[in-house]
Amino acid sequence: MSIPINLVRGRGVGSGRPRQDSLCLRGADSKPVKEEPLSQARLFPRSLEEGLGFEYAMFHNQVENRTVCILQGGPYLQGIPGFLHGGAIATMIDSTVGMCAVLTGGAVMTANLNINFRRPIPLCSVVVINSQLDKIEGRKLFVSCNVQSLDEKTLYSEATSLFVKLDPKKTSP
Ligand SMILES: CCCCCCCCCCCCCC(=O)SCCNC(=O)CCNC(=O)[C@H](O)C(C)(C)COP(=O)(O)OP(=O)(O)OC[C@H]1O[C@@H](n2cnc3c(N)ncnc32)[C@H](O)[C@@H]1OP(=O)(O)O
């Protein structure tokens, strides 16, 4: 069964972006120090104006533990002139494999992310990120992905990642 995620962009009142009001301030030890809403907080890939940054939709297959992201990187994500910045590519890879890990394993964090950048991605082109859960070992989830052109003729990037399920017995994060 496949479910769409963020297919329609959410809108907070008075802004073009959904809010993350549940966040709180944290000290250097990562422990919450003040339960204060961060009204300006935004999910990073949703933080730029529509059409200029990360434009994407994700779909998750619960049976096969796969997450697919259709991405168009806008003009604010330029690195080398005419091409997407590697950090922007890494962000969307982390978000896609992260979504796959979260929907499979619940509360997780990225522990390791390895990316091979094979070809530069032209700015404003549409690419597909295909990710799948490879294995689970205890609290560790291994997820890999590739980034390809829509026609699958060009392989832009490949990545492997490790997500660790948060241990409720540990206070941080
Ligand atoms: C619809 C729902 C939507 C919700 C929104 C979804 C958005 C999704 C998109 C968001 C995407 C964005 C997501 C983000 O951007 S997450 C932000 C970036 N990530 C971080 O900041 C994480 C920082 N690191 C930590 O907090 C801790 O180190 C964690 C929590 C990861 C593990 O600390 P913890 O104390 O809990 O675990 P442990 O140390 O006992 O280790 C446990 C096991 O793991 C193994 N290990 C650990 N680290 C590594 C490593 N680097 N390489 C290889 N192995 C590693 C370790 O050997 C051990 O293995 P074993 O001995 O058991 O075999």
What ipTM was estimated for this complex? 0.96
Q: Is residue 38 situated within a structural domain?
A: yes
Q: Which of 92, 95, 109, 166 for mutating ligand 1's site (highest number of atoms within 8 Å of CB)?
A: 109
Q: Is residue 1 situated within a structural domain?
A: no
Q: Is residue 170 situated within a structural domain?
A: no
> Which amino acid is it at 90?
A
- Co-location of 133 and 76 in the same domain: yes
Is residue 96 in contact with ligand 1, taking CB distance under 6 Å?
no
What is the pLDDT, as a whole number, of residue 164? 98
Is residue 3 in contact with ligand 1, taking CB distance under 6 Å?
no
Rounded CA-CA distance 105/54 in Å is 25
Within 19-171, residue ranges assigned H as helices are 86-105
Helix or strand (DSSP H, E) at 151: none
Q: Is residue 126 situated within a structural domain?
A: yes
Q: What is the mean pLDDT of residues 77-102?
A: 98
What is the pLDDT, as a whole number, of residue 172? 62
Is residue 108 in contact with ligand 1, taking CB distance under 6 Å?
no
- Co-location of 37 and 65 in the same domain: no
Positive or negative, the CA dihedral 153, 132, 126, 156 is: negative
- Three-state secondary structure call for residue 168: coil
Rounded CA-CA distance 22/133 in Å is 29
Number of domains in the chain: 2
- Co-location of 24 and 75 in the same domain: no
Over residues 32-61, the pLDDT tens digits come to: 555 556 778 889 999 999 999 999 999 999
**From the CA of 103, how far away is ligand 1's center (Å)?**
15
The residues carrying an active-site annotation are 94
Rounded CA-CA distance 11/38 in Å is 17
Residue 18 domain boundaries:
8-42
Q: Is residue 14 situated within a structural domain?
A: yes
Structural tokens at position 93: 């890879």
Q: Is residue 173 situated within a structural domain?
A: no
- Co-location of 111 and 94 in the same domain: yes
Q: Is residue 35 situated within a structural domain?
A: yes
- Co-location of 16 and 83 in the same domain: no
Is residue 55 in contact with ligand 1, taking CB distance under 6 Å?
no
Q: Is residue 3 situated within a structural domain?
A: no
What is the pLDDT, as a whole number, of residue 168? 87
- Co-location of 15 and 100 in the same domain: no
CATH of the domain at 64: 3.10.129.10
Rounded CA-CA distance 48/130 in Å is 24
At 25, the pLDDT band (50, 70, 90 cuts) reads very low
Q: What is the mean pLDDT of residues 130-145?
A: 98
C-alpha distances (whole Å) from 8 to each of 1, 54, 59, 63, 163 are 19, 14, 12, 23, 27
